[in-house]
Amino acid sequence: MTTLMVLIVVVLLAIALWQLTKIFDLTQVGRNVDNSQVATDNDNKVNGYLMFAFLGFIYLTTIYCLVYYGHFPLMSDSASEHGPQVDNLMMISMVLIFAVQTITQALLHYFAFKYRGKKGQKALYFADNNKLEFIWTIIPAIVLAGLILYGLYAWTNIMFVDEKDTEDAIVIELYAQQFNWEARYAGEDGVLGKANVRYIEGVNNLGVDLSDPNAQDDFASKELHIPKGKRIIFKMRSQDVLHSAYMPHFRAQMNCVPGMVTSFSFTPSLTTAEMREKPAMVEKVANINAIRAKKSIDLVASGQPALDPYIFDFLLLCNKICGTSHYNMQMKIVVDTPEDYKKWLKDQKAIAMAVKTAAEEAKAAENNSTTGKDSTAVNGNDTTVVAKVEMK
């Protein structure tokens, strides 16, 4: 609201100034003033200096933004092994853009000043200059080719995983739906059972093929637990529309497309507890909590409960605008130590067995009441890649 008021005041001031200059012009009528529309040397000189002033304005704004809003390093503390490669690429691109912008803006404004209009001076016209065109084509071409090659190298490194690295990997399915995520683990046998959206029924909300022996011990979780230092292969599916599994701290993102399985793989390099202790994270959390504490004062004053302090957690977010609650489509990711992960798995398996028994009982009861209904009608192509998981 304050911003709006300030904007209105600025606009009104500008209008007032404009009207004042008009009145000033009217007072000059009759005096010996040059009213011609052709720019004089003095006009050009003023415009030339204004070019320099504008350059100064750009530089000052840049410095101001860097000091007050730039949080260096722009990206830090990636929590996956490939993360530093992505950060490097980003940093190199940003530094390059910054250098080119700074130099070209200086040149542009300097030459606009230097060749400002002067009486008797005529612009030199030439159709082309091969040498000049060669220079301004070849330099960007080489720089961009280098950047693209480095990008391709990083991309192949991240997206194509060696066979031997996947042997020991954990395969987890990420199931996207409007508007939440669910993770499916392979269970004791280490193999994810088949699944298809057409099998979704009752408690089977992931569409797991319950007749598949591999699916018998699969279990789902609303919280994504992964162990540090072990390669995780994510298999993404979507139930309804296009979603995108985005795990910013791990520098990972992959679209979830209905009807197909997409994949992304990474190795977590920091546990949740380690990430919380990083100096940059400690500072960030302290900032957030300072803002929350300030807001809480107003809330408490108006009789509402105060905000809880924020504690950092890794998140899986949706990065495709998939509907009204897209903004809140998220799942907590917990990176455990390998020991904690094993403990968590054990607990989950026990819960999964109980849920499975309940589901089987429910299905049996339903089958009894609807005899004659063709339960083998589902014959769609199975879309889930069945993968081997090693479990220790």
Judged by CB under 5 A, does residue 318 bind Cu ion? yes
Nearer to Cu ion, 257 or 281 (CB): 257
What is the closest distance, in whole angstroms, from the C-beta atom of residue 315 to Cu ion in the complex? Answer: 13
C-alpha span between 172 and 175 (Å, rounded): 10
What is the closest distance, in whole angstroms, from the C-beta atom of residue 254 to Cu ion in the complex? Answer: 13
Residue window 225-264: x/- pattern of binding to Cu ion, with contact defined by CB under 5 A: ------------------x---------------------
Nearer to Cu ion, 296 or 330 (CB): 330
The Cα angle at residue 238 between residues 237 and 240, in degrees rounded to 5 = 160
Nearer to Cu ion, 196 or 238 (CB): 238
Nearer to Cu ion, 116 or 243 (CB): 243
Judged by CB under 5 A, the residue of 86, 322, 333, 345 near Cu ion is 322
Residue window 327-346: x/- pattern of binding to Cu ion, with contact defined by CB under 5 A: --x-----------------
Residue 268: burial class (beta carbons within 10 Å; 0-12, 13-18, 19+): buried
Nearer to Cu ion, 329 or 345 (CB): 329
C-alpha span between 306 and 185 (Å, rounded): 38
Nearer to Cu ion, 233 or 322 (CB): 322
C-alpha span between 359 and 203 (Å, rounded): 7
What is the closest distance, in whole angstroms, from the C-beta atom of residue 242 to Cu ion in the complex? Answer: 8
- Residues shown for the chain: 392
What is the closest distance, in whole angstroms, from the C-beta atom of residue 180 to Cu ion in the complex? Answer: 9
Judged by CB under 5 A, does residue 174 bind Cu ion? no
**In the Cβ-directed half-sphere of 258, how many Cα atoms lie within 13 Å?**
9
Residue of 174, 299, 298, 158 whose CA lies nearest to 234: 174
Residue of 263, 282, 284 whose CA lies nearest to 273: 282
What is the closest distance, in whole angstroms, from the C-beta atom of residue 322 to Cu ion in the complex? Answer: 3
Nearer to Cu ion, 180 or 383 (CB): 180
What is the closest distance, in whole angstroms, from the C-beta atom of residue 177 to Cu ion in the complex? Answer: 8
C-alpha span between 253 and 247 (Å, rounded): 6
The structure tokens 């683990």 sit at 185
Rg (C-alpha) for the chain, rounded Å, is 31
- Residue count, binding to Cu ion (CB under 5 A): 4
What is the closest distance, in whole angstroms, from the C-beta atom of residue 329 to Cu ion in the complex? Answer: 4
The structure tokens 């296009």 sit at 242
Site of interaction with Cu ion (CB under 5 A): 243, 318, 322, 329
